[in-house]
Amino acid sequence: MRAPALRVRATPAFAACALALLVAAALALSAANLDAILPLAHWRDLLATGDAHAVPTLAALIARDTWLPRLVVSGLCGALLGLAGTIFQQVLRNPLAEPMTLGVSAGAQLALTLATLGAPALLGASTEAPQWIALGGATCAAALVFGLAWRSALAPAAVAVSGLVVTLWCGSIGVALQLFYAPYLRALFIWGGGSLVQQDWSVAALLAPRLVAGGALAWLLLRPLTLFNLDDANAHGLGLSLRTARLAALALAVILSAAVAGAVGVIGFVGLAAPALARLAGARRLGQRLVAAPLCGALLLWLADQTVQRYSGAMGDLVPTGAATALFGAPLMLMLLARVRHGGRRQSRGDTAQARTPLHPGRASQLYRRIATVVVLLAVASFLALDLGRGAQGGYGWHGWHFANAAQFGQVAIWRVPRTLAACSAGAMLALAGTLMQRLTANPLASPEVLGVSGGAALGLVALMLCGADLGRSARFAASGAGALAALLAMLWFARRSRFAPERVMLAGIAIGALFQCVLAVAVAGGGERAAALLQWLAGSTYTVTPADAALALAACLVLGALTPLAARWLRVLPLGEASARALGVSTQWARGALLVLIASLTAAATLLVGPLSFVGLTAPHFARLLGARTPLQHLALAAPLGALAMVVADWLGRAALMPRELPAGLVATLLAAPYLMALLARSR
């Protein structure tokens, strides 16, 4: 699969003015922040005399050993992320690639989480120990991604899918540990948001030589990297060893990204925005982007950090800077989207043939049997979720597991039936939304969350919590509904302006999701019971579902599910291209708009119920393909029960396996599905 063909219209004058304004804003904010700590007159005297006693001692120490190192570290981290993002986008041929694509940040955070819980003495062995632990976790995650994509010759699509799966898996393990041990891991909440607070020059001294070495190595790889502009066949014909070149370039980018993650935490969006800003500024050739992107990244993070310091306390330690970068990156991404040309979506020959070729009658009957088998398994899983559990009593059990008798079932049904119905409905709706999204965009990475509707719904809940309002069920549903509606309206408005081009819709959704991640990181960094409750809801817990909620979810699932077969013809025709679709009498703009409304409605209904799940909508369509679904109608018919089955089993195991503790259904679904999907990726070519 080739990356979306997005070409930015270059306007050097506009780009020069924009960069000049950004530099001026960063300088002004830096001067104001420094003056708040140490008046500029004293700072000039200190630089001129070098005498620390010429100025107030505490202010001088803060300025020299905290503020100035932080300023330098922000520039170094931004430059490293800009360089790494440029390499990722060039190798993967994907303008959406960034350092977080390969699970580097998730691996680093998981390593620090495990070390905090299992070996706290190791973290305190030296000042650089946390950095090396994070670097080791990031390297292991990247190595796992390379291993999964090795048999595919490190093809861009295989690397991207593997990176997404590893990121979700590592992140789910980390969130599960945070739910169980939140009091011990609060510092990691702040670190996970990308805190640039410094106490000395050690981090700057660690990052500076890595930036110099990374830039030199990237320049040495300039010719192989340039050849990645060509197709694999043409690049191989010019003597490029694709697997070796990809492995070397991706390894360099991972090391650069891991250096930042290990030093200051997770900083997202800079690696995505810096290369795009460099391209907008007129850097067309790769050599130019290797120089311009680090400079743009340094500028973006410098400006973001100075803004955080200005408006979040004297030293800006109340809000992680990495979280605030989305406030600058998301508007920048939307500005870039308004200035890109849609190069058309190229459909692979295999997908087109698949859309045209009907199934052999024997294979069709086999597929129908598989659908029936999945439905039977869903019924069995629902029965077990309702009747089989763990407890201190039960005459028909073993090791605490027992089937409830008639009297016991009447007592537990009021709790288990709504949860089971909610999980089943949410799983089916997410699977349908994921199938429609992947079919519409011809992108195996597409999932309901890409639209930004899940992020908008969760953003409403986070905003409610930050306002200090009561988090009752009615208030949560109202806030989530308002956020989902706002995200849906914004997405539809933007999609209408771009004639519902799927790639632009996905980019807009990523921008909305980035804003959500920013606010979420700020809320979680504050800690407390509300942060823990927020994490549990975001992970996909169904423990607050009432019978009324379950009935409403089931009704929404049935109504929206009945509408999806009506889109089967559009899903068969749209992959043939604009001209062919119009020749067959399909209005592509209207069809895509209707499909986006249906996808957003399915996603919003599921998100309001169990939170923004992030794996069922991605994996259920993949598993349906593996089981033989080829036409859109068969794909939808098989993916829906698979998604429902995954969520029912996940909710049941999360509720009963670790009783009295409980894992949210979204986390369990991710923890169960990710290893299986990784095994499939490792065996596939």
Mean pLDDT computed over 600-608: 82
In the beta sheet, which residues pair with residue 401? Answer: 390, 398
**pLDDT attached to residue 428:** 94
**Tens-place pLDDT, residues 15-54:** 677 778 888 988 998 888 888 877 766 666 655 555 545 5
**pLDDT attached to residue 281:** 79
**Tens-place pLDDT, residues 142-188:** 889 888 888 877 776 677 778 778 887 887 888 788 777 766 676 66
Instruction: Report CA-CA distances (Å) from 651 to 423, 426, 579.
Output: 7, 11, 46
Instruction: Report CA-CA distances (Å) from 112 to 121, 225, 670.
Output: 12, 33, 21
CA distance 241 to 477: 54
Contact between residue 304 and residue 296 where contact means Cβ atoms under 8 Å apart: no
Question: Above 90 in pLDDT, residue 238?
Answer: no
Give 207-271 as a DSSP string. HHHHHHHHHHHHHHTHHHHHHTTS-HHHHHHTT--HHHHHHHHHHHHHHHHHHHHHHH----SHH
CA distance 546 to 477: 12
Contact between residue 385 and residue 652 where contact means Cβ atoms under 8 Å apart: yes
In the beta sheet, which residues pair with residue 403? Answer: 388
Exposure string over 108-134, b if 16+ CB within 10 A, otherwise e: bbbbbbebbeeeeeeeeeeeeebbebb
Topology given in CATH for the domain delimited by 8-340: ABC transporter involved in vitamin B12 uptake, BtuC (1.10.3470)
**Tens-place pLDDT, residues 97-109:** 777 767 887 888 8
Contact between residue 322 and residue 264 where contact means Cβ atoms under 8 Å apart: yes
Rounded (10°) CA dihedral 55, 61, 64, 68: -120
CA distance 594 to 589: 9
Q: Which helix (H) or strand (E) covers residue 341, if one does?
A: strand 340-342
**Tens-place pLDDT, residues 258-278:** 888 878 887 877 888 888 888
**pLDDT attached to residue 66:** 85
pTM beyond 0.85, yes or no: no
CA distance 97 to 104: 13
Q: Band the pLDDT of 468: cuts 50, 70, 90.
A: low
Hey, how many other C-beta atoms are within 10 angstroms of the C-beta on 234?
A: 11
Which amino acid is present at 35? Answer: D
Pair type for strands 388-390 and 401-403: antiparallel
In the numeric block, which tokens belong to residue 141?
């995650």
Contact between residue 429 and residue 606 where contact means Cβ atoms under 8 Å apart: yes
In the beta sheet, which residues pair with residue 340? Answer: 8
Rounded (10°) CA dihedral 620, 174, 327, 24: -130
Q: Which helix (H) or strand (E) covers residue 8, if one does?
A: strand 6-8
**Tens-place pLDDT, residues 414-429:** 888 999 999 999 999 9
Report helix, strand or coil for 342. strand
Q: What radius of gyration, in Å, describes the C-alpha atoms of the chain?
A: 26
Hey, how many other C-beta atoms are within 10 angstroms of the C-beta on 76?
A: 25
Q: What is the residue extent of each domain of the chain?
A: 8-340, 350-683
**Comparing C-alpha atoms, which of 318, 267, 272, 546 is closest to residue 414?**
546
Same fold: 8-340 with 350-683: yes
Mean pLDDT computed over 74-90: 92
CA distance 202 to 205: 5
CA distance 592 to 573: 11
Length of the chain, please? Answer: 685
**pLDDT attached to residue 396:** 44
Better pLDDT: 659 or 342: 659
Hey, how many other C-beta atoms are within 10 angstroms of the C-beta on 392?
A: 7
Contact between residue 632 and residue 571 where contact means Cβ atoms under 8 Å apart: yes
Question: Above 90 in pLDDT, residue 209?
Answer: yes
Mean pLDDT computed over 469-498: 70
| Mean per-residue pLDDT of the chain | 77
Q: Which helix (H) or strand (E) covers residue 6, if one does?
A: strand 6-8
Contact between residue 67 and residue 37 where contact means Cβ atoms under 8 Å apart: yes
Phi–psi pair at 393, nearest 5 degrees: -125, 165
**Tens-place pLDDT, residues 325-376:** 766 666 666 665 555 554 444 444 444 444 444 555 567 788 888 889 999 9
**Comparing C-alpha atoms, which of 170, 143, 173 is closest to residue 159?**
143
Phi–psi pair at 6, nearest 5 degrees: -115, 125
Residue 225: alpha-carbon gap to chain centroid: 26
* Whether residue 660 has a cis bond before it, omega within 30° of 0: yes
**pLDDT attached to residue 247:** 84
CATH number of 350-683: 1.10.3470.10
Question: Above 80 in pLDDT, residue 451?
Answer: no
Which amino acid is present at 23? Answer: V
Question: Above 60 in pLDDT, residue 394?
Answer: no
Better pLDDT: 583 or 10: 583
CA distance 661 to 655: 8
Which amino acid is present at 159? Answer: V
Contact between residue 623 and residue 640 where contact means Cβ atoms under 8 Å apart: no
